[in-house]
């Protein structure tokens, strides 16, 4: 199934072909692929090279570890994410290790790391679906996440399945046409809300 974007301007193929399915085929993600995904995250840019991200990960071939991580997702996400090849939880450090001061861009930086991971996955024929619907307190309890660190998102990784196997709402989402705001709606120039002349055409 193709969910290729239709960009208004040229972009890299791994950006145009990236999308987040709900349907996964249950095939595990290899250890070598998983290492490369986290290696891509490792090389993301961050303020002062702080690298404020951590990940908790499990693949479906380790049933106990996978089920443990799956239990950290809200129930509606568990219903479809149980078919992913691997799961992860992203965790961010709220303070700089260099001086203990608050890191106001930590969430920005972990987003860059997960972006790197996502596009490495796409280049390898994998798909990533990120989730806000996690149970942070359960993550803390099960994995002894230290004070000053916050679980942020769930991440499902795997191979997309035929959406025909999904229930109604999820199937509709996987089959829906991809849409995005135009550049004019979020790139501004002289005043907030006024499109930049660079994207007006």
- In which order are the strands placed within the sheet that holds 53-59? 53-59, 86-93, 149-158, 127-131
Rounded to 10 degrees, the C-alpha dihedral 121/28/131/82 comes to: 160
Q: Each residue of 119-137: pLDDT tens digit?
A: 999 999 999 999 999 999 9
pLDDT of residue 100: 92
Q: What is the CA radius of gyration of the chain?
A: 18
- The CB-side HSE value for 189 (13 A sphere, CA atoms) comes to 10
What pLDDT does 1 receive? 55
Whether 201 maps to a domain, the answer reads: no
Q: How high is the pLDDT of residue 167?
A: 85
Residue 6 inside a domain? The answer is no
Domain-located, residue 84: yes
Identify whether 80 is part of a domain.
yes
Quick one: pLDDT at residue 201?
59
Low-confidence ranges of the chain (pLDDT < 50): none
- Asked, for residue 69, whether it belongs to a domain, the answer is yes
Instruction: Write the secondary structure of 85-150 as one string of H (helix), E (strand) and C (coil).
Output: CEEEEEEEECECCCCCCECCCHHHHHHHHHHHHHHHHHHCCCEEEEECCECHHHHHHHHCCCCCEE
Per-residue pLDDT tens digits for 75-90: 999 999 999 999 999 9
Q: What pTM did the predictor assign? A: 0.94
Residue 110: other Cβ atoms inside 10 A? 25
Give the total number of structural domains in the chain: 1
Q: Given this model, what pLDDT does residue 124 score? A: 96
Task: Look at residue 165 in the predicted model and tell me its pLDDT.
Answer: 87
Tell me if residue 75 falls in helix, strand or coil: helix
- For residue 135, being part of any structural domain is answered with yes
Within a domain: residue 22?
A: yes
Which helix (H) or strand (E) covers residue 55, if one does? Answer: strand 53-59
CATH number, position 35: 3.40.109.10
Q: Which range of residues forms the domain containing residue 110?
A: 18-163
CA distances, 96 to each of 49, 104, 107 (Å): 10, 9, 12
- Backbone phi, then psi, for 155, in 5-degree steps? -135, 120
Q: Which has the closest alpha carbon to 67: 55, 81, 53?
A: 81
102-to-47, 109, 157 alpha-carbon distances in Å: 12, 14, 31
What pLDDT was estimated at residue 3?
85
Cβ atoms of 85 and 62 within 8 Å: the answer is no
Q: Is residue 7 part of a domain?
A: no
pLDDT of residue 168: 87
């Amino acid at each position: 199934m193709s969910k290729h974007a239709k960009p208004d301007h040229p972009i890299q193929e791994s950006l145009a072909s990236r999308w987040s399915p709900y349907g996964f085929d249950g095939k595990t993600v290899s250890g070598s692929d998983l290492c490369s995904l986290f290696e891509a995250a490792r090389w993301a840019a961050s303020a002062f090279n702080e690298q404020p991200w951590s990940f908790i990960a499990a693949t479906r071939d380790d049933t106990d570890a996978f089920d443990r991580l799956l239990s950290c997702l809200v129930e509606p996400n568990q219903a479809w994410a149980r078919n992913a090849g691997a799961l992860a939880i992203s965790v961010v450090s709220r303070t700089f290790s260099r001086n203990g001061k608050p890191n106001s861009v930590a969430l920005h930086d972990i987003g860059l790391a997960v972006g790197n991971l996502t596009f490495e996955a796409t280049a390898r024929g994998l798909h990533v679906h990120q989730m806000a619907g996690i149970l942070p307190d359960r993550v803390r309890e099960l994995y002894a996440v230290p004070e000053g660190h916050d679980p942020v998102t769930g991440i499902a990784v795997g191979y997309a399945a035929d959406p025909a196997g999904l229930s109604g709402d999820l199937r509709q989402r996987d089959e829906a046409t991809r849409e995005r705001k135009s550049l004019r709606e979020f790139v501004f120039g002289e005043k907030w809300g006024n499109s930049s002349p660079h994207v007006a055409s």
